[in-house]
Structure 1
Amino acid sequence: MSNLSIERLPTDISTDLRGIRSWVFDLDNTLYPVENQFMGLVEQRINDYVVRTSGLPADEALVMQKSFLHDYGTSLAGLMTRYQIDPHHFLAEVHDVPLDVLEPDTALRLGLERLQGRRFIFTNGSTVHAHRVLKKLGIDDLFEGVFALEDADLIPKPDPRTFHKMLVRFDIDPATACFFEDTPQNLEPAKAIGMTTVLVGPKAFSAEGEFIDYRAASLPPFLTTAILDGDSV
């Protein structure tokens, strides 16, 4: 197994996660590889919803949707700001996609199992969506809790208020917590409150920011090779 998918900034070469007691994971494109295109199914439903709501052609609706992501953190937040929509109807509709492209990953499970402490999900997706995905991946039993968009009063990451609510909900000390995420800007508030941060996925080695502690092209090898409490070094 290559260690090229793991990097410590700026100078350390080891992935030293000793002392971490709470492990917080984003869900989509973090716990499974972006290459399986699962989120493409959700994004198509979101685009269809924007087309129907705005009356714009599909290409213009896509531009609007991307601007919502940039300006508000989620398409839902943008739609709620610009249009009168039922957020719960939106969440139910866009996440009602088949899970066929997702499958259990033995290496992922083994990596998660070796983490000492508590594990949580922190997602801008819905509660139902999070539990469906975790069950399909075969790792739902490894997590103590899910903090979804409904729990954040529909205020998405990277809003610092949402991070605070998540920490309070699960009684997490940020100084002994590690946050895994595929969206770089969502790591900035985590680092600001003292969490260790890991950027996962295709952007891992191209994104810039002092708020990124570690980078991993793929989650399973990162988890299985990181130095944890009790490991020989």
Structure 2
Amino acid sequence: MDALLRVDVFQHIDTWVFDLDNTLYPSDSDLWPKIDARITLFLGHLFGLDGMSARALQKYYYQRYGTTLRGLMLEHSVSAEDYLAFTHDIDRSSLEPNLLLAAALAALPGRKLILTNGSREHALRTATALGLHTMFDDIFDIVAADFVPKPEASTYQRFFDRHDVDPGRAVMFEDIARNLIVPHERGMTTALVVPKPGQMDHRDSFEIEGDAPHVDFVTSDLEAFLADIIAKMGGGEGGS
């Protein structure tokens, strides 16, 4: 893991890839807890479970299949459309436009893409609330991934093929370190976005890693990290 920003690491990058949840918005935002609670509620309604039992089942599916949705699809043939519509039906009014991040994204040379295990609609609504929706060229969501979530290798390959991404000329920003294993193996530069000191961390315990060989950079301030890259590259070329 390299804590120092070297301009040569990013000079060749032409595709900037970002996870959505807990990456493009702060880790202490109430957005992910709202989604998490909706997932629990969905399972409770579906199976007639109390809150604790629904929560336990939710986490079982998440750890085994990568997303609760995939577990429900494989084991119970649950409609992905119904699930995504219900779990992402949340109030995003707590999010505020992030002008610093918008400016940094606009200044990065090359394409900017979102790669998320959530839905395209959720990504669009969230990016809009953050004032970032015009910064990205496209969104690769769980539907585009054929409902196979990160960190599965096939999902990244599908993403690379869909958007003609050369991994050796791309960087990925992500809040869960295991989701950077395959990108690193394929030649992407990788950056882990972690909570600022004292910030709430909504990741599950098994998602939190220390130093890892597949993580090139770690930052708790995405806006400042990108601004530093732009400054070291001489101001960036702009465009989105």
Amino acid at match of 2:71: G
Residue type at the aligned position of 1:128? E
Is 1:109 aligned with 2:109? no
1:146 equivalent to 2:149? Answer: no
2:219 and 2:150 map into 1 onto residues whose CA distance is 21
**What's 2:64 paired with?**
71
Residues 170-185 of structure 1 correspond to what in structure 2 (within 5 A)? 170-185=163-178
Shift of 1:183: 1.1
Q: Which consecutive unaligned segments of at least 5 residues does structure 2 have?
A: 196-200, 202-206, 236-240
Distance 1:197 1:89 in 2: 33
Deviation at 1:229, TM superposition (A): 7.1
Q: What residue in structure 2 maps to residue 208 of structure 1?
A: 211
Moved more, 202-211 or 222-231: 202-211
Aligned position for 2:227: 224
Give 1:192 shift. 1.1
Deviation at 1:228, TM superposition (A): 6.5
Partner of 1:163: 156
Q: Which amino acid aligns with 1:54?
A: F
Q: Report how far residue 36 of structure 1 moved.
A: 1.4
Distance 1:208 1:82, change over 3 A: farther
C-alpha distance in 2 between matches for 1:177 and 1:72: 27
Relative to structure 1, the CA distance from residue 15 to residue 90 in structure 2 (aligned partners, 3 Å threshold; closer, same or farther) is farther
- Post-superposition Cα deviations, 1:57-97, rounded to whole Å, max 9, x if no partner, equal 21122122122222111110111223231111100111011
Runs ≥4 residues deviating over 6 A: none
SS, match of residue 179 in structure 1? strand
How far is 1:175 from its partner? 0.1
Question: C-alpha deviations, 1:172-223, integer Å up to 9, x for none?
Answer: 1000000001111111111111111111023799533200010011211111
Quote the residue 1:128 is aligned against: 121
Residue identity in the other structure for 1:43: D
Contact 1:23–1:178, Cα closer than 8 Å, also in 2:
yes
Q: Which residue of 2 aligns with 1:4?
A: none
Q: CA RMSD of the aligned region, Å? A: 2.0
Amino acid at match of 2:4: I
Pick aligned residue for 1:60 from 53, 77, 88 = 53
Are 1:18 and 1:228, in contact at CA under 8 Å, matched by a contact in 2? no
Q: Measure, in 2, the Cα distance between the counterparts of 1:60 and 1:208.
A: 34
Displacement, 1:13?
Answer: 2.4
CA separation in 2, counterparts of 1:168 and 1:21?
A: 16
Contact 1:18 1:229 in 2 (8 A): no
Number of the residue aligned with 2:20: 27
In structure 1, the residue matched to 2:130 is 137
The aligned amino acid for 2:185 is A
SS at match of 1:155: coil
Normalized against structure 2, the TM-score is what?
0.87
Indicate the larger mover: 49-58 or 114-123: 49-58
> Bigger CA drift: 48-57 or 183-192?
48-57
Q: How far apart, in 2, do the equivalents of 1:165 and 1:205 lie? A: 26
Counterpart for residue 5 of structure 1? none
Q: Partners of 1:159 and 1:129 in 2: how far apart? A: 21
Q: In structure 2, do the counterparts of structure 1 residues 192 and 124 end up closer, same or farther at CA, with 3 Å as the change threshold? A: same
SS of 1:40's equivalent in the other structure is helix
**2:87 corresponds to:** 94
What is the one-letter code of the residue matched to 2:64? D
Secondary structure in 1 aligned to 2:25?
A: coil
- Match in the other structure for 1:6: none
Separation in 2, partners of 1:70, 1:207: 19
